[in-house]
Structure 1
Amino acid sequence: MSIPRDPALDQAFDHAPDEQLALLLGRALNSFELPDETLQRLDCALAYDGSLHSAHHSAGRHRETYRHTWLLADGSPLTLWELVHNTGRDGIPQHEVYVSEDEVHLATVRLPLPPEATPDFDLQVPLTPVQLPPVPPRGRAFDPADPDRSVDHARRLLRRAENPEPATRPGPGTCRLLRTACAHQITQAFGPRVNHGFALYEHAFLLRDGVEVSLWEVEHTATPDGRHMCEVYASQDAARAAIERRAGVSRG
């Protein structure tokens, strides 16, 4: 039986490990439910392997389960399971992501697929972790060096920081350090605490001596008047803790 593949998935399998993770989290409707620990472990992924695990097609409705496995820096594999289906009212493919095969199985059982439909078929994929070849750590892919632009970006980033707790802002030492930036890169971070009006961005800077420095920007509207606000922190943990505090205040 010919299985219609989602073009977005075919394209995604050609990306690097970190890019593949960003694409998976970006298209999954429930990515905010993934544990922080899982996402933090995937920060050090060196290689990626993805495959179709099982499928179910009947009367214009379909469901596929994909297995995404990353090789981590400590040599261990980590697998996420992606469920893709078009059983919603509009028939548009929906993506969900789960940390275990049991979780994706429970989600699959809840789908409104007719019991008389053609039975599922499972591909012959081993249940043991996929053995990926060791890959040497890759350096961050910075844009072409442009010191003037990178230093200006750092200056503007620090200038728009409105941290309510002044002591949490990067200090003068960080400002002096970033004056030696020669390249930079901006990426959006995902996770269970980055939702409901919050966005988290990593601003990575490459210094002239080859050292990499990152600042973490939180954007949100959890202000008394709903005004857009930016906060900047020196670590991802501090930024996520700030999101937790602001979200708690806005809910209260």
Structure 2
Amino acid sequence: MSVPYETPKTPEEHLEGLLGRALNSFELPDETIALLESALTFDSSLRSAHHSAGLHRETHRHTFLLADGHALTLWELRHNTGPGGNRSEETLHELYADEEEAHIAASRLLPSGTCGPECPDSTGARIPGCEPLALDTVRLIVSPAPLQRSYAPDDSADHARRLLRRAENADQPGTDTASLLRTALAHQITQAFGNPCRTGTAGLCFALYEHAFLLADGREISLWEVEHTATPDGRHMCEVYVSETTARAAMERRASRTS
């Protein structure tokens, strides 16, 4: 679930905001911060959430696409648990370069006598006297419920046709997918990675969009559109893929070729 952007930010501005509000930003390795300064774009999403008895805790994932084509992730823990387990009047922020460290930090914020699915202490061992949470609560911590789609009936079959027509990649969806999309009744477009084109490192920009379609038989199908300027002449290019994994891999390949 991507966090909506109220105003477009550059990767540098987003990183500056993360470091500025994190209580433990000084613990991040200098080499990690140096790598992030070369980021071309970024994506922020809610990874997990827990709310109980006035206390809340959320883990957010911030993934940066670097100039060499690799991705680097920071894990942000947002909570209102103050010293002694008391409720803080403001939201506190912690930042980690390792997902496991973020999990361990989050486990320390659970109410006394409860724990998450793995219930680790700082050494990875189970905490004595710590009872596992009820299944429903564990599910809430592990993964928030997906958002319901809001489809809009707006000549969706033609939208799919135009999307496929402007795709320039050789491995774009084939005729079978195009045939299915001729029955599309409605669609929804969601930004999944990065911001619309802006000047960044080497003048490159990347964006990823999901085009979800509702078919006449009730099925759903998505196309993943990559927009970028990682071309020899810097022009805008559109590529379309049938899966998010393939689309993100294409973004990394394009970035690495221009680094």
| TM-score, normalisation: structure 1 | 0.51
In structure 2, the CA distance between the partners of 1:182 and 1:99, relative to structure 1 (3 Å rule), is farther
Distance 1:25 1:124, change over 3 A: farther
Structure 1 runs (4+) deviating above 6 angstroms are 24-28
Q: Is 2:182 aligned against 1:187?
A: no
RMSD, matched Cα: 4.5
Partner of 2:71: none
Q: Given that residues 76 and 94 in structure 2 are in contact (C-alpha distance below 8 angstroms), is that contact kept between their aligned partners in structure 1? A: no
| Distance in 2 of aligned mates of 1:237 and 1:184 | 21
Taking the TM superposition and a 5 Å limit, the aligned residue runs for 1:106-145 are 124=111, 126-129=114-117, 131=134, 133=136, 140-144=148-152
Deviation at 1:215, TM superposition (A): 0.7
For structure 1, the 5+ residue unaligned runs are: 1-17, 34-41, 53-64, 70-79, 85-92, 107-121
Q: Residues of 2 paired with 1:241 and 1:217: CA distance? A: 12
What does the per-residue CA deviation read over 1:106-150, in whole Å, with 9 as the maximum and x for residues that have no partner?
9xxxxxxxxxxxxxxx78464434646269x86842324x2x521
Closer, same or farther: CA 158–25 of 1 in aligned 2, 3 Å: same
The Cα shift of 1:197 comes to 2.0
Which residue does 1:234 correspond to in 2?
242
Tell me which amino acid in the other structure corresponds to 2:101: D
Letter in structure 2 aligned against 1:173: D
- Paired residue type of 1:158: L
CA distance in 1, matches of 2:110, 2:180: 53
Q: Tell me how far 1:224 sits from its aligned partner.
A: 1.1
Secondary structure in 1 aligned to 2:155? helix
Q: Name the residue aligned to 2:178.
A: 175
Q: Which amino acid aligns with 2:116?
A: T
- Structure 2: runs of 5 or more not aligned: 19-34, 37-44, 61-74, 80-91, 118-132, 195-199
Q: How many matched pairs?
A: 167
Identity of aligned residues (%): 47
TM-score using structure 2 length: 0.50
1:44-193 aligned within 5 A: 49-51=49-51, 66-68=57-59, 81-82=76-77, 100=99, 102-103=101-102, 124=111, 126-129=114-117, 131=134, 133=136, 140-144=148-152, 146=153, 149-163=155-169, 166=170, 168-190=171-193
